[in-house]
Amino acid sequence: MKTFFTHALVVFALIFSPAHAFAKIAWEAPSEVSQGRGFIISFKNDAPFKGEVIWRKKKVPFSSSLQEANTNTAAKNDTPDDSQDDSQDDTQDDTQNVSTKNTYTAQVLLGMPTDAKGNHNLSVIMEENIDGKVQSSKASSVIKSLPVKWVSHNLKVEPKFVQPPQDLMARIKAEREQRAPIMANISPTPEWELPFKRPVNGTISGSFAARRVFNDTPKSPHMGTDMRGAIGTSIRSMAAGKVVLADHHYYSGNAVFVDHGQGVISMYGHMSSITVKTGDIVKKGQELGKVGATGRVTGPHLHLSLYIQGVPVDAVPFFKEDLVIVGGPTPEQARPPEPKQKNKQKK
């Protein structure tokens, strides 16, 4: 799994004991992360290891996987040297095998909340089997949260978009309770791989964490990204995972939640139709449904949300090869002009 940060990293080495001076695990963490951004903690060692990351009072388990194990074969020139004695055996096997060390790696994806301020502690607990004995160690780092100036909109809308009808409040509460255990689940095995797949090709019509004021009434921040798409356009899963919820909700309409492991959850809302069901295992890029206008919306689009251990983050930076962890909100884009139709002249 190859991931690059476009910001400075702090590199550490965990040494387990003086008796095993060569047993160490290197790990990397960023020193600064903007509000609303996801970021990676990376680990590397020449032997298997496991552990957990503690971030904002939540524990995220991880275990290493073999990244690379190469054996290079270097063949010497087996043509006899004229200067050598003819009696020298020039038929010997001159092939030399050179083995490289195995490399074991692990990554953990974390999120910086949109309202985070100041410095935040990150703790790491590691375990490695050395000479038949389990050795453990602890380390910590500090990550600074950088403030972001979020997009703001003052909109005039129909009253139903300001306050839901009173007779639907019980339904909305039940749907919120249905989602709660999904957001709280942190499975040990990551199924995600960067970069993520862009679910639709449409431009951004609604920025992540935009502050919205409806009819002069401040509403909750928009914890997702709105992406344009015509009704019926295929919506693809950003990464491999398991469908943990496929249902119709008041706000999100037809929606699909996919668990990608380690508490990484993606949500796709307002679908016209759903093509998967709860419990399905999906691949990266697999169709989940079609763009629509179900739920509380004013027009067809995809509402995309990304949660990391329950923290909503901007999903758009994950579509690029190099993950950007410092910067402002993803900008909204004007609607592309309609393609011009050519006039056909009769001959």
Three-state secondary structure string covering 87-109? CCCCCCCCEEEEECCCEEEEEEE
Q: What is the domain count for the chain?
A: 2
Domain identity same for 215 and 130? no
Q: Is residue 38 part of a domain?
A: yes
Domain identity same for 249 and 120? no
Q: Note down the domain range covering 205.
A: 152-323
Domain identity same for 305 and 208? yes
Segment 305-331, tens digit of pLDDT:
999 999 999 999 999 999 999 999 999
Residue 145: pLDDT over 90: yes
Domain identity same for 232 and 308? yes
Tell which of 116, 146, 176 closes a domain: 146
DSSP state, residue 115: T
Radius of gyration (C-alpha) of the chain in whole angstroms: 26
Residue 257 Cα distances to 186, 248, 306, 325, angstroms: 14, 11, 10, 24
Domain identity same for 13 and 110? yes
Domain identity same for 123 and 230? no
Segment 26-62, tens digit of pLDDT:
999 999 999 999 999 999 998 899 999 999 999 999 9
Segment 230-255, tens digit of pLDDT:
999 999 999 999 999 999 999 999 99
Domain identity same for 63 and 178? no
Segment 88-121, tens digit of pLDDT:
455 445 545 555 678 999 999 999 999 999 999 9
The CATH number of the domain holding residue 222 is 2.70.70.10
At residue 286, the pLDDT reads 98
Residue 229: pLDDT over 60: yes
Q: What is the pTM of this model?
A: 0.83
Domain identity same for 203 and 296? yes
